[in-house]
Structure 1
Amino acid sequence: MELAPPLPRTSPLHDFLAPGSIAIIGASTDPTKRGYKAMVGLIKDGYPGAIYPINPKVDNVLGVRTYATLDDIPGPVDLALICTPAATVPGLVADCGRKGVKGAAILASGFRETGPAGARLEQQVLAAAREGGVRLIGPNTSGMFNLHKKVNLLALANVKPGNIGFISQSGNMLLSLVLEAEHNGHVGFSTYVGPGNQTDIGFNDYLRYLGEDPDTRVATFYVEGFRDGQRFLHNAREITAVKPVVVYKSGATEQGKKAASSHTGALAGSYAMTVDLLRQVGVSVVQHSNEILPVAEGLGLLQHAPGKRVAVVSDGGGQATIASDRIIEAGLELAELGEATKKRLGAILLPQASPVNPVDVAGSSDANPALLADCLAIVADDDNVDAVFLVGMFGGYHIRFAEDLLGGEMRGAESMIELARRIDKPVVVYSLYAPVKPPALRRLHEAGLPVYTSIEYAVRVLAALGERGVYLQDAANQAPLPAMMPNDATLAIFAAAQAEARNLFEFEAKTLLRAHGVDVPAEALVRNVDELDEVAARFGDRPLVMKVVSKDILHKSDAGGVKLNLHGRAALREAFDQIIGSCHAYKPAADIKGVLITPMARKGIEVIIGVSRDPIFGPVLMFGLGGIFVEILEDVAFRAIPLSRYAARSMVEQIRARRILQGARGEAAVDKEALVDLLLKVSSIVAAYPQLAELDLNPVILYEDGYAIVDARVIVNQTVLNPKDEA
């Protein structure tokens, strides 16, 4: 499939990741040194640009004239590879600035990742780079290559040019993928960079470069920790609209997060949150490292599927069943084939074959393997099918049965290639003979049809294609909603809280919500017992809740500060006295403003909506089941603020408990549109008020006709001024 129109070239990284000239600072005649290996890589690959080895002690390295310093080089330098120890780097980067070098890749470790002294040295390097206008790769980078430009600074052998761009915080992960690609025989790479400490250039910058690079059809990342997650998400939203982006995020466990931090000095963050935020902007996230190359290859070749409905054609019932299981587990669907499709299949298959999905040809192809291509063409013509999956032993018929079947397999391969070119639906192949690379499978691979060695790999690719297709189709609903306009009354509430060094009272938090269109139940703040009669008359016979209002009592129930199911004046007076007495006993010095009285919410489905400001990704919204469920099941979804309507709907559909919201065991389904509207309003409110550090609505009770916000808590950022004050 063809790519969308390319993005305009705006990244400054093109100037030195596709360099016209390279200086190797620390070029060496010692074959064990990186300054030697980099020279070998450039010379062996036939780099056409100027190579300038820097070494004052020798006349040449591998026959290339050396220079004592950068200043001695007669021409311009686009990229400098610095192969010398950490202590020398600040001065060398300053030299690069004076020479006009556009980018410098720093191999040395011994910086921020080693402690305070290393961090200070790293800041010196950054200061020198900023002063001289030099962009930095690393330090602590494993290096880089751009194979289409014959720039191979890692001197890797047997790695071929291709369409996969790869940015990895692990050099060993690159080596793993290179070896895997060599075994595959058809996969190649465009650009690789080890970002190292990301002192200057971060993942977001590399994403922009790969998104604009015409030689890259899929941008792939191994990430231990982001440093500017907000910018990465911003860039990813634009890049994924034109080409796939694949991310493997390590640090899924507490132990993994600690390892990531000690390895790179990066903040690893919450794994579940990071995965959700990446998927929010169209990134394909893989959960296992051995899926990186298969998914990158499949997305690079096929780009996307129209949807998630898969048709399986198999020459074996067992593998058809396995494929069906994996498809459902991956969140895909087995396409419901139309009657016309079944009739067409029945006309060419043996009577014992099954024309329903999964289609089991049941021996029909034993004497004519090209028949499988005919079956693929028939199911691909069905409007209910988004992707076609061939499962079985295609390519190995001439090995298993008779050599004269090779011709039929080759004809079948050509028919499959023609089918893939004709339709806008991906054709994915799993063959148990893939490891031995028979001629028909080699032909498929050479023509751009991926062939996988396991059903699991193939299904993961199908899932990535389907998820990307669904994301692209709903692009109209993916524009983030703008922030609401702050109003003066709410700004005054925040200002008062900041002046008193406290968080918002519950009634203030609800006032904030109510002021911006959120449906909040009526309530009354009562400061003394004489006000209770008026409140009782106002709410009538409805059962009421009474809660203490005090900045000094955070856990109201623990202090005896909550009373439920109150009816009438007498009950209200008794509850008021009990709450005041209990709270003073719990904390004698507590400043009690009064009590908050509101009608009790009727029974419904409890959910939680929370907001926090993540140090990497900025404001993030969380949604899940409320009450005890959120702590026990951890069944929650995260999205970065601001939300789009697509993002709000998708997080409601993401949680495992979504069937409860749909109405389990005869219960009415909740009002999902009201819930989506609430999520969007919360997002817009948080975007409008930087003083809001955290928000917790727990529980929110969902009904078939709306919702009720039972409790609202807002943590105030005491260091952020009102926007009007800042102006």
Structure 2
Amino acid sequence: MVKVRRKRSVQHLPQQSFLHPILAPDSIAIIGASADPTKRGYKALVGLIKDGFEGRIYPINPKTDRILGIPTLPSVDALPEPVDLALICTPAATVPELVRQCGEKGVKGVVVLAAGFRESGEAGAQLEQALVEAARATGVRVIGPNTNGLFNLHKKVNLLGLTNVQPGGVGLISQSGNMLLALTLEAENYGQIGFSTYVGPGNQADVGFSDYLQYLGEEVNTEVAAFYVEGFNNGRQFIDTARAVTAVKPVVVYKSGTTAAGRQAAKSHTGSLAGSYAMTVDLLRQVGISVVHDSDEILPVAEGLSRMQKAAGKRVAILSDGGGQATIATDRLTEAGLELATLTEETQAALRAILLPHANTSNPVDVAGTSDTDPYVLAQCLEILERDPNVDQLFLVGMFGGYHLRFAEHLIGQEMRAAETIIELVARTAKPVVIHSLYTPVKPPPIRRLREEGIPVYASIEHAARTLAALGERGIYLKNRNKQTQVVTFEPDPEGLALFERANHEGRNLYEHEAKQLLQRHGVTVPEEILVRHPDELEGLSARFGQQPLAMKVVSRDILHKSDAGGVRLNLHSDASLRAAYDDILASCRNYQPGADIHGVLVSPMAPRGVEVIVGVVRDPAFGPVLMFGLGGIYVEVLEDVAFRAIPISRYDAEAMIDQIKGRKILAGVRGEAAVDRKALADLLVTVSGLVHAYPQISELDLNPVIAYPKGYAVVDARIICNPGV
């Protein structure tokens, strides 16, 4: 039997991370080493001995001379060399001083297992601050505290005492120790997934997610980096690092806290800042990260990406031996944003030549019983589909590997022959071949043979579909990565800065007309409007605007939500109606908020009917300035049909935001309505991004609604909240 192992072309970043000697150490000190089998200081020592760690081990315990036959040292000061890594197994109160001693002794990094720091309250936060100060004063780097430890299986460093964990290409960072246990048990049961490095980041008092991501991007044994994240303390740094890492290898993230209750649980568990789930997902995907929504997808998707890396696109050919599963596969692929490839007539003719007459040769292809007596035909069909130029990925669905169990034992020969042909196909094609089989849990010989060659076989159609989606997303991201890097920025102008200086001096946000002036100065189209500060100034306004229906809105530093305060009047057609509206607005606003400062009112023509969208910006505490786009008006918070991108954005990002929302069909025109001006909307998004990047004085920006038209748009309302002290 000829083995054709598929060549993997995984690249790595140049080694620059400070974590290399810490996570791949040649010398390890165990502070709090113990002869008690229930203690971590014992389990870590046993793990190093059993796994055959080839470096130097220094158990530290002042109460004994030897543990497991290894001489102990009485203190950190007794270390004969500056070790690469120290594992601290002692109580929280002892940690700051031990960290200081390690730093003074030249230890490169320490792992702090103890809990009782920031996650436990104010006293714990003070203890953690003391730990950080000791580390910074002496130069030692800290993993944790409140971590369950780490392993590097290729270096034979296992500080968790786990057994039956195999070395492999998945680098894993998990904020949950139980999630690590679940994933290692899943890998053990699956039998083909192995790990390179694992770290529990704990509270990330020093070393954080972005540091681990940089390391995994450089680490030569890591083919894919996988993260279980409850919350990001410095999300902006993580996505900035990911831009470089995802260019060379896949990154998979499962973000917990999809609900308000889940986010609160994450905060109490790790002290992290867990932001909006939808926002976090969009920002991660913006930089090429594959986001999975179910925890049981982490390993299947990670394995698929590590083995197959990417696809040229999202066009999938489904090959099935049953109509029901073909339908399920089609549903799941469509839900994941993939497309059924349109097979060429040449492909379909080749399929008809080897399949029974009643087989379906359009996509999804159903062999309709042909494989019941000849399972090798599945491999032949895959070869035909692979040659089709319209196909980016291949998806085999059904019971491959189990025909000899289901029908007749002698079919094992044809199934093994099919497995060899599939192995050879996978070795020579750049198109991912993803296989689902009902018999995966049974592990029959044909499936074992595929797995021996590193070809994933999934028991779940859903997991396979999510893997196909990740492969397509990664391929498209890499294809368009250069476009995404072409972000649009510009410089602030003096008059724009003067607006913020005046507002800051008066202790207020920008008035609406000032916000629109700022937008207009940078190329945003805004409607004509007049600020009226005295009722006499209303005289003749209706004629000035050519008898168009007018709108009037209050301008107040104290009233942000004008409609709630009764500060808006519409469909005004005469000077008399303008004066009456003026009086009504002032009365309503003063009744709503007595003592509110009323700067005046804005009068402008009413915007014609169109499609309402929203453009907004927030400065997220973890991710920094973030742009939002979606359907607008009063329903934005109800429908939540919005897209997010980290600022600054490229034009490619702007167009992707418009395409992402479910309401894109409305933008494209429905029920006889004309499509809106996508180019103008993309221009607006790029300009707003550049504006916020240019003016750090902007804390929040809200254009809601913006009325989109077949040609151009109208910014009906604009609000800019100032960043205090900037």
SS in structure 2 opposite 1:594?
A: strand
* TM-score normalised according to structure 1 size: 0.97
Q: 1:174-189 maps to which residues of 2 (within 5 A)?
A: 174-189=180-195
SS in structure 2 opposite 1:219?
A: strand
Q: 1:126-145 maps to which residues of 2 (within 5 A)?
A: 126-145=132-151
* Alignment counterpart, residue 362 of structure 1, candidates 358, 368, 371: 368
Q: 1:551-590 maps to which residues of 2 (within 5 A)?
A: 551-587=557-593, 589-590=595-596
Q: Which residue of 1 aligns with 2:4?
A: none
Indicate if the aligned counterparts of 2:488 and 2:650 stay in contact, CA closer than 8 A.
no
- 2:546 is the counterpart of 1:540: yes
* Alignment counterpart, residue 454 of structure 2, candidates 444, 448, 451: 448
- 2:480 is the counterpart of 1:479: no
Q: 1:341-380 maps to which residues of 2 (within 5 A)?
A: 341-380=347-386
Structure 2: how far apart are the matches of 1:258 and 1:562?
37
Structure 2: how far apart are the matches of 1:242 and 1:64?
42
SS in structure 2 opposite 1:311?
A: strand
How far off is 1:114 after superposition?
A: 0.9
Structure 2: how far apart are the matches of 1:28 and 1:581?
77
Q: 1:31-430 maps to which residues of 2 (within 5 A)?
A: 31-430=37-436
Indicate if the aligned counterparts of 1:392 and 1:432 stay in contact, CA closer than 8 A.
yes
Which shifted more, 45-54 or 250-259?
250-259
Indicate if the aligned counterparts of 1:480 and 1:642 stay in contact, CA closer than 8 A.
no
Indicate if the aligned counterparts of 2:239 and 2:284 stay in contact, CA closer than 8 A.
yes
Structure 2: how far apart are the matches of 1:383 and 1:616?
43
How far off is 1:660 after superposition?
A: 0.8
How far off is 1:656 after superposition?
A: 1.5
Structure 2: how far apart are the matches of 1:99 and 1:588?
66
Which shifted more, 41-50 or 550-559?
550-559
Deviations 1:298-352 (A, max 9, x none): 1111111111111011111221111111111111111111111000100111111
Q: 1:615-694 maps to which residues of 2 (within 5 A)?
A: 615-694=621-700
SS in structure 2 opposite 1:715?
A: strand
Task: Assess, with a 3 A threshold, how the Cα gap between structure 1 residues 26 and 585 changes in structure 2: closer, same or farther.
Answer: closer
SS in structure 2 opposite 1:104?
A: strand
Structure 1: how far apart are the matches of 2:81 and 2:617?
54
SS in structure 1 opposite 2:225?
A: strand
How far off is 1:529 after superposition?
A: 3.3
- 2:522 is the counterpart of 1:523: no
SS in structure 2 opposite 1:377?
A: helix
Structure 2: how far apart are the matches of 1:632 and 1:228?
29
Deviations 1:601-636 (A, max 9, x none): 000000111111111111111111112321221211
* Alignment counterpart, residue 605 of structure 1, candidates 611, 635, 643: 611
Indicate if the aligned counterparts of 2:488 and 2:686 stay in contact, CA closer than 8 A.
no
Indicate if the aligned counterparts of 2:669 and 2:675 stay in contact, CA closer than 8 A.
yes
Indicate if the aligned counterparts of 2:423 and 2:450 stay in contact, CA closer than 8 A.
yes
Which shifted more, 380-389 or 550-559?
550-559
How far off is 1:590 after superposition?
A: 3.4
Structure 1: how far apart are the matches of 2:145 and 2:110?
9
Indicate if the aligned counterparts of 1:353 and 1:361 stay in contact, CA closer than 8 A.
yes
* Alignment counterpart, residue 9 of structure 1, candidates 5, 12, 15: 15
Deviations 1:440-489 (A, max 9, x none): 11111111211001111111111111111111111122115243211111
Q: Which residue of 2 aligns with 1:703?
A: 709
Which shifted more, 356-365 or 160-169?
356-365
Task: Assess, with a 3 A threshold, how the Cα gap between structure 1 residues 488 and 373 changes in structure 2: closer, same or farther.
Answer: same
- 2:601 is the counterpart of 1:595: yes
SS in structure 2 opposite 1:701?
A: strand
SS in structure 2 opposite 1:90?
A: helix
* Alignment counterpart, residue 28 of structure 1, candidates 34, 48, 65: 34
Letter of the 2:164 partner, please give it: N
Q: Which residue of 2 aligns with 1:714?
A: 720
Structure 1: how far apart are the matches of 2:169 and 2:375?
31
How far off is 1:571 after superposition?
A: 3.3
How far off is 1:142 after superposition?
A: 0.5
Indicate if the aligned counterparts of 1:394 and 1:409 stay in contact, CA closer than 8 A.
yes
Deviations 1:340-381 (A, max 9, x none): 100010011111111111111112122221111110011111
Deviations 1:34-65 (A, max 9, x none): 01110111111111100111111111111111
Structure 2: how far apart are the matches of 1:476 and 1:183?
40
SS in structure 2 opposite 1:628?
A: helix
SS in structure 2 opposite 1:366?
A: helix
Task: Assess, with a 3 A threshold, how the Cα gap between structure 1 residues 405 and 558 changes in structure 2: closer, same or farther.
Answer: closer
How far off is 1:75 after superposition?
A: 2.7
How far off is 1:261 after superposition?
A: 1.3
Structure 2: how far apart are the matches of 1:586 and 1:177?
56
Structure 1: how far apart are the matches of 2:322 and 2:559?
67
How far off is 1:584 after superposition?
A: 4.4
Unaligned runs of 5+ residues in structure 1 are 721-727
How far off is 1:528 after superposition?
A: 2.4
Which shifted more, 587-596 or 212-221?
587-596
Task: Assess, with a 3 A threshold, how the Cα gap between structure 1 residues 586 and 323 changes in structure 2: closer, same or farther.
Answer: closer
Letter of the 2:346 partner, please give it: A
SS in structure 2 opposite 1:293?
A: helix
How far off is 1:652 after superposition?
A: 1.4
Letter of the 1:298 partner, please give it: G
Indicate if the aligned counterparts of 1:3 and 1:242 stay in contact, CA closer than 8 A.
no
SS in structure 2 opposite 1:149?
A: coil
Structure 2: how far apart are the matches of 1:559 and 1:148?
65
Indicate if the aligned counterparts of 2:82 and 2:108 stay in contact, CA closer than 8 A.
no
* TM-score normalised according to structure 2 size: 0.97
- 2:496 is the counterpart of 1:490: yes
Indicate if the aligned counterparts of 1:701 and 1:708 stay in contact, CA closer than 8 A.
yes
SS in structure 1 opposite 2:633?
A: coil
How far off is 1:582 after superposition?
A: 4.2
Task: Assess, with a 3 A threshold, how the Cα gap between structure 1 residues 253 and 581 changes in structure 2: closer, same or farther.
Answer: closer
Count of aligned pairs between the two proteins: 720
Structure 1: how far apart are the matches of 2:187 and 2:514?
59
SS in structure 1 opposite 2:373?
A: coil
Indicate if the aligned counterparts of 1:139 and 1:197 stay in contact, CA closer than 8 A.
yes
Structure 1: how far apart are the matches of 2:486 and 2:177?
36
Letter of the 2:109 partner, please give it: G
Letter of the 1:216 partner, please give it: T
Structure 2: how far apart are the matches of 1:601 and 1:333?
39
SS in structure 1 opposite 2:371?
A: coil
